[in-house]
Chains A and B, each alone.
Chain A
Amino acid sequence: MPKILGLEGTAWNLSAAVVDEKDVIAETTATYMPTTGGIHPREAAQHHASHIAKVVKETLKICGKDIDAVAFSQGPGLGPCLRTVATAARALALSMEVPLIGVNHCIAHIEVGRWKTKACDPVTLYVSGANSQVLAYRAGRYRVFGETLDIGIGNALDKFARFAGLPHPGGPKVEELAKKATRYTPLPYTVKGMDFSFSGLTTAAQEALKSSTLQDVCHSFQETAFAMLVEVTERAVAHTGKNEVLLAGGVGANVRLREMLALMCEDRGIEFYAPEKRFMGDNGAMIAYLGLLMYKSGYRTAIEDSKANPNFRPDDAEVMWR
């Protein structure tokens, strides 16, 4: 049974894991915490560079060195972080004399979700810091049905939280505070077809802090932004005729978002799936698992094609394993 080592480091999380078809055998993670403000791409890359040897060694200590390929997140993500991880992956593959497999980070989120839940052919809502997309499979590719026209939901939450003086990471703090709210303050709701936008909402929420409590604005921010996300997911479901929804990405840990998606699915009579939290945010296991699927379908990445690709679109990757 093939075993694959996967390396993830597209943003602030550095993670290495080994999986086989049955399960995750080992996983080690090191998380970059920004000293001030948001994520600094070069600082994050330095963090990854100084931790990757240890993270890989720890992982291999648990499962031994007999692995069949090295998979890594080729993109999308922050250029400096991606390059650090790609360099490490190349070196590892060469020294262990195994093939290299560059994987698409978004697709890895979807595939680990399909692996760890009963979802088969879902519409996926993928929500993380920089990415917010609605995807579904059609004719050999994961297609983007809708996406943000400006910033991702995670970055929108973080930006607002920073403005409000909340410590990083902002998302969980906003979720906590929202629970203590007493009233809703109207904020801009921007949906265009299956696309959406968060920058107007973020600015308006900052403005609203002048006249409403922080708790109320956190609540209003979440309710507005998540309603937009659930609405576009429902639009994609109606348009594609699929009958499953899968939630993926770090913001998927938000309990209120899950609750809203579950309600929408219940009312439409379709299934809702969300993997456990460790497979929701960025993790090495998802990279290793997608690497495994690609390895089994014969895919290999030549060294000269292994360059980091910060704008790697999910629909640029051919899906040969389904």
Chain B
Amino acid sequence: MAIIASGAEAVIALEGNTIIKTRIQKRYRLKEIDESLRRERTRIEAKLISEARRCGVPTPIIRNVTDFEIKMEYIEGTALKNIITPQLAEKTGELVGRLHTCGIVHGDLTTSNIMFKDGKLYLIDFGLAYLDKTLEARGVDVHVLFQTFESTHENHEELTESFKKGYARTFQGAEEVMERVREIEARGRYA
């Protein structure tokens, strides 16, 4: 078993073609906060990764879940952040649109949490995902991704435009969500 990644909150090990994602203890957090967060996120992640796949969003197949650990299919590819293009941003839009149509909000849409393998995109890391059909939840979801485009990638305006195209294709009411995204951007700034 080899550790292949140290994510934001989990250690990722590889055993054959199975990924073992373990949410490790965070010493900086109170035990009360830490344990309930890790337990809850692990449970939600396993549940919504499967749910998303049933809605036609490619995700790893879940093999086993315990308190703080998920065993899942290994997506032998690369993170979207290493190879992003406008075409792939458009594809990302389609996936997120399908996810939202299904009532799921990812909660952590970054280009580190989207994998690319054999010409196909997969969504991973559903620890902050939840079921929500409100404009606000969907708007924040898209806002978080746009912020990653802007902070991490060169041609963020083009990526954003391409994403919108894909998103509108698979999600009815995309225009309303984009309106909300603009509103969210204007908040949280100095009064």
Contact status A77-B151, CB under 8 Å: no
Contact status A150-B187, CB under 8 Å: yes
* Interface residue from B32, B140, B150 paired with A195 (Cβ < 8 Å): B140
Contact status A234-B9, CB under 8 Å: yes
Q: Count chain A residues whose beta carbon lies closer than 8 angstroms to a beta carbon of B.
A: 48
Q: Is the C-beta of B86 less than 8 angstroms from some C-beta in chain A?
A: no
Q: Which residues of A contact B187 (CB under 8 A)?
A: 149-150
Shortest Cβ gap from B81 to chain A (Å): 8
- What size tier do the contact residues of chain B reach? 35 or more
Q: Is the C-beta of A130 less than 8 angstroms from some C-beta in chain B?
A: yes
* Interface residue from B30, B36, B144, B191 paired with A194 (Cβ < 8 Å): B144
Q: Is the C-beta of A40 less than 8 angstroms from some C-beta in chain B?
A: no
Q: Which residues of B contact A267 (CB under 8 A)?
A: 26-28
Closest B residue to A237 by beta carbon equals B8
Which of B13-21, B104-112, B160-168 is found at the contact surface with chain A?
Answer: B104-112
Q: Mark A180-200, 1 if CB is under 8 A from B, else 0.
A: 000010100101111100000
* Interface residue from B26, B81, B140, B190 paired with A264 (Cβ < 8 Å): B26
Q: Is the C-beta of B152 less than 8 angstroms from some C-beta in chain A?
A: yes
Contact status B28-A264, CB under 8 Å: yes
CA distance A268 to B11 in the complex (A): 11
Q: Which residues of A contact B188 (CB under 8 A)?
A: 147-151
* Interface residue from A75, A184, A238 paired with B32 (Cβ < 8 Å): A184
Q: Which residues of A contact B151 (CB under 8 A)?
A: 136, 138, 143-145, 315
Shortest Cβ gap from A181 to chain B (Å): 11
Contact status B33-A193, CB under 8 Å: no
Closest B residue to A76 by beta carbon equals B190
Contact status B28-A227, CB under 8 Å: yes
- B-contacting residues of A (Cβ < 8 Å)? 75-78, 130-131, 136, 138-139, 143-151, 184, 186, 189, 191-195, 223-224, 227, 230-231, 234-235, 237-240, 259-261, 263-264, 267-268, 310-311, 313, 315
| Cross-chain pairs A/B with CB under 8 angstroms, 27 sampled | A75-B190, A76-B189, A144-B151, A145-B148, A150-B188, A184-B32, A186-B36, A189-B37, A193-B107, A193-B109, A193-B144, A193-B147, A194-B147, A195-B140, A224-B33, A227-B28, A230-B29, A235-B9, A238-B7, A239-B8, A239-B110, A239-B112, A260-B28, A261-B28, A264-B26, A311-B189, A315-B150
**Lowest 7 CB-CB distances: which A-B pairs, in order?**
A193-B144, A143-B151, A235-B8, A260-B28, A238-B8, A263-B28, A76-B190
